[in-house]
Structure 1
Amino acid sequence: MKAILNDLLAEQSLVDSLVDNLTEQQWQEVIKPMGLQEEVPGLWTIKDEIIHIALFDEAAGKLILGEAESLGDANPPGTHDEFYRCPEKRNMSKAEVLSWWRQVRTKLNWALYNSDPKARIPWAPNLPMSARSLASARLMELWAHSTDIYDHLKIPVKVAERIVHTLFLSWQARPNSYRIHGVEMPDTPIYLELILPSGQIWSKGTAGAQQYIKGKAEDWAMVAIRRRNWLDTDLVVVGDEAKRYASFVQTYAGKADEAPPRQRMR
């Protein structure tokens, strides 16, 4: 747990520094998903991204400390709209949003530090998580939303060795990814082999399997957080089942999200 928390704190500090240096005007800029040429209803601003992270960091802290019994209690109806934005916080200034996020994430980090890593935390409906996995999930979601900001600002996405937490969730959440797409997960062996920023290999599954996914950890992580189409990456995906897994892998709970539209031909 301490190792995960060190990584979570590092990612929080990195994103905090990124957005703290932006102007109030930049905080209000609308982020268009990759490939989208015009604005459509429900698009988020940079402020929305950070508010969303803070809202769920606050909820996670409440759940770990027993201040709420479910995510619905921690984030009651009206807390967010149909696009998962938080209307009641959108009038806050940059300084106010950052102050709130720093407070709630400090409470979350303290709660995680003092929790049993194996304690079951009620998160998404019917999907309780261990405190350890919830810590990884908070890091993953922060990195996912920060990639939206990096992409919008046309800054290369920051990728560190702690991306392993997102990779871990991409594999752990595989059964749920199939379930939310209405597909029964087969027993077909799959091998996932990824190169970390350090050059080390991270792998899961059956080594030597005929169905496999290989490539850079950053590419797979971007696919798993639904920010890239695997066909736009340099991943090597072999086998029909491996391709299906790559097409709807999703690290986070909730409804099935479509993969981003394909941007290039292979």
Structure 2
Amino acid sequence: MKTILNDFIAEQSLVDALVNDLTDEQWQRPLPDVEMWNIKDAIIHIAFFDYAATKLIAGEAEDLVSFSEVESGQDQYVRATKFHHLTGPEVLSWWREVRTRLVNQLYDKNPKDRVPWAPGLPMSAKSLASARLMELWAHSVDIYDALGLDPIVKDRITSTLFLSWQARPNAYRINNLEMPDTPIYLELKLPSGEIWAKGDQGAENYIKGSAKDWALVSIRRRNWMDTELEVVGEEARRYASIVQTYAGWADPAPKAKRQR
């Protein structure tokens, strides 16, 4: 738990530095692949769900859906419009406040403590920390893309990699597919050079390559065909096409620029 929270703080600091000196024009810059969102919307979204988590941990809200409906002013583009009046620097200041509160709450939790999240589906404090870290990195990719920068990836991306594997059954379910018993092997090289792997090493269906490429695919920001991933076997190709680290409906992958 401490390792995840330390990773969470490090990633927060990295994203904070990314947006700290943005101009007013840059705060309004649209995100390339998120309809009607700009950079300020991305930070509002991150801050709001950190804020929601603090309320749920404290027992001041019943579940994420009902809290969001009342508190966010969510529109058809899933933007928290209630906070649109804030300037970019004001949004950043708010995020700093709520993320500090969230991390302090999580440090005081047993990793197995249950926290209400989706209606009727609580998650452990450790899983909540991993999910918040994954979502933070996913939306930071949107900001990097909007600024024309290459997303930064550290070894702490393992939380996102784990969720890509752990959520595989859900990826099939939300795409109305039956998950087969076909063994799959996932082998990824972290920025440090270490190997992160899951599954049956002898499987005929496998995915190998950089952790960065797979993480970008699993948060639905890149199509696997546009990466250097080695994806072998029919089931591995299907997994790479539907993998999704976050809950909700099935999001389409970006349209592939090349076919293979």
What is the one-letter code of the residue matched to 2:23?
Answer: T
1:127 Cα offset (Å) = 4.0
**Cα RMSD between the aligned structures?**
1.4
Q: Secondary structure at the match of 2:97?
A: helix
CA contact (8 A) 1:124 1:253 kept: no
What is the one-letter code of the residue matched to 2:109?
Answer: S
Partner of 2:10: 10
Q: Residues 68, 210 of structure 1: CA spacing in aligned structure 2 closer, same or farther, 3 A cutoff?
A: same
In the alignment, structure 2 segments of 5+ residues that lack a partner are: none
Q: In 1, distance between residues paired with 2:189 and 2:120?
A: 33
Q: In 2, distance between residues paired with 1:158 and 1:181?
A: 30
Range with greater deviation from structure 2 (160-169 or 110-119): 110-119
Q: Secondary structure at the match of 1:141?
A: helix
What is the one-letter code of the residue matched to 1:32?
Answer: P
Partner of 1:45: 38
Partner of 2:59: 66
1:69 Cα offset (Å) = 1.5
Matched, 1:221 2:215: yes
CA contact (8 A) 2:208 2:229 kept: yes
Q: In 2, distance between residues paired with 1:130 and 1:245?
A: 26
What is the one-letter code of the residue matched to 2:12?
Answer: Q
Deviations for 1:171-207, whole angstroms, at most 9, x for unmatched residues? 1111111111111211111110000001110001111
TM-score using structure 2 length: 0.96
Matched, 1:32 2:25: no
Q: How does 1:102-141 map to 2 (within 5 A)?
A: 102-125=96-119, 127-141=121-135
1:126 Cα offset (Å) = 5.0
Deviations for 1:57-114, whole angstroms, at most 9, x for unmatched residues? 1111111221111112332346311211111111211221011111111111111111
Range with greater deviation from structure 2 (189-198 or 57-66): 57-66
CA contact (8 A) 1:32 1:43 kept: no
Q: In 2, distance between residues paired with 1:187 and 1:128?
A: 28
Regions of 4+ moved over 6 Å: none
Deviations for 1:100-136, whole angstroms, at most 9, x for unmatched residues? 1111111111111111111222223454321111101
1:75 to 68, 77, 81: 68
Identity of aligned residues (%): 63
Q: In 2, distance between residues paired with 1:162 and 1:137?
A: 13
Q: In 2, distance between residues paired with 1:128 and 1:175?
A: 18
Q: Secondary structure at the match of 1:191?
A: strand
Q: How does 1:185-200 map to 2 (within 5 A)?
A: 185-200=179-194
Partner of 1:169: 163
Q: Secondary structure at the match of 2:42?
A: helix
Partner of 1:23: 23
What is the one-letter code of the residue matched to 1:52?
Answer: H
